[in-house]
Amino acid sequence: MIVSLIVFFVVVVLSIPSAIVLMPWTVISKDPTRLYNAANSIVRVAFRVAGIQLVVTGRENFLRGQACIFMANHVSNLDPPALLSNLPGRTVVFLKHSLMRIPVLGYAFKLGQFIPVARSGNAASAQESVAAATHVIREGVHIMTFVEGSRSKDGRMLPFKKGPFYLAFESGAACIPVSIFGTEKLMPKGSFAIRHGTAHIVFHPPVYPKDFATREDLLHAVREAIASGLPEWMRA
């Protein structure tokens, strides 16, 4: 737990001056890139302070000049910062709608074009989120999504949600499957304690929606790719 407190302190200390300097610039310029890059730099420092080594492979599968949907499995609260800080260019994620109402932070999310999602299951809300995400992709910004919808309790793969594959077909964007493992030991679900150690991120070759007849076929292809990069015991 001491490591978690130290990491939290480091993040706060580095975030305050960055926000003071870059938030006004972002508001004036309407360009969140500098703020986004600063946040990722802070994340990388925090990982080093925590004694976490990220082994990243498959960067050669990134597509230059083309916005993609990065689709990953999800086993720990460390996954979002670990993945975002290792993606090319600016990337946005789906967020619970309530997070957008947090003072200052919520405004930063809006400036960054993060996409609010209602957990009501309402079809109209889901369509709004897909439309917003499609617009972001067409502006050249990547999207990252955890296709299981929530963290796995034991590290084994969960069933995939269909929403990301609706988005893939709607936008036509290439999907890059991502396998994450090791973070489930460094910060297990239900724990706030961060442990030092090694985690792995594996980027697989892009999968194109146009090559599949149905969303279900695309889902299966992405699932097989993610599973191929995980330890055997995680491929439930």
pLDDT digits (tens, 9 = 90+) for 41-71: 999 999 999 999 999 999 999 998 899 999 9
Q: Give the residue from 154, 152, 204, 196 showing the smallest Cα distance to 174.
A: 204
Least confident of 87-91, 101-105, 195-199, 218-222: 101-105
Tokens of residue 158, six digits: 């969960």
Give tens-digit pLDDT for 77-110: 999 999 999 999 899 998 887 777 777 777 778 8
Q: Give the residue from 79, 202, 93 showing the smallest Cα distance to 137.
A: 93
Whether 174 is in a domain gets the answer yes
In total, how many domains does the chain have?
1
Whether 26 is in a domain gets the answer no
Whether 205 is in a domain gets the answer yes
Whether 215 is in a domain gets the answer yes
SS3 call for 68: strand
Chain position carrying tokens 């992405």:
222
Tokens of residue 81, six digits: 């910062």
Whether 9 is in a domain gets the answer no
Whether 28 is in a domain gets the answer no
Domain that holds residue 74: 53-234
Whether 129 is in a domain gets the answer yes
Query: Pairing between strand 68-72 and 174-181?
Result: parallel
CATH number at 118 reads 3.40.1130.10
Query: Pairing between strand 52-57 and 68-72?
Result: unpaired
Confidence of residue 20 (pLDDT cuts 50, 70, 90): confident
Show the CA angle centred on residue 137, arms to residues 131 and 143, nearest 5°: 95
Count CA within 13 A, CB hemisphere, residue 104: 7
To the question of pTM greater than 0.75 for the whole model, the response is yes
Whether 150 is in a domain gets the answer yes
Q: Which residue has the higher pLDDT, 25 or 86?
A: 86
Mean of the per-residue pLDDT values of the chain: 90
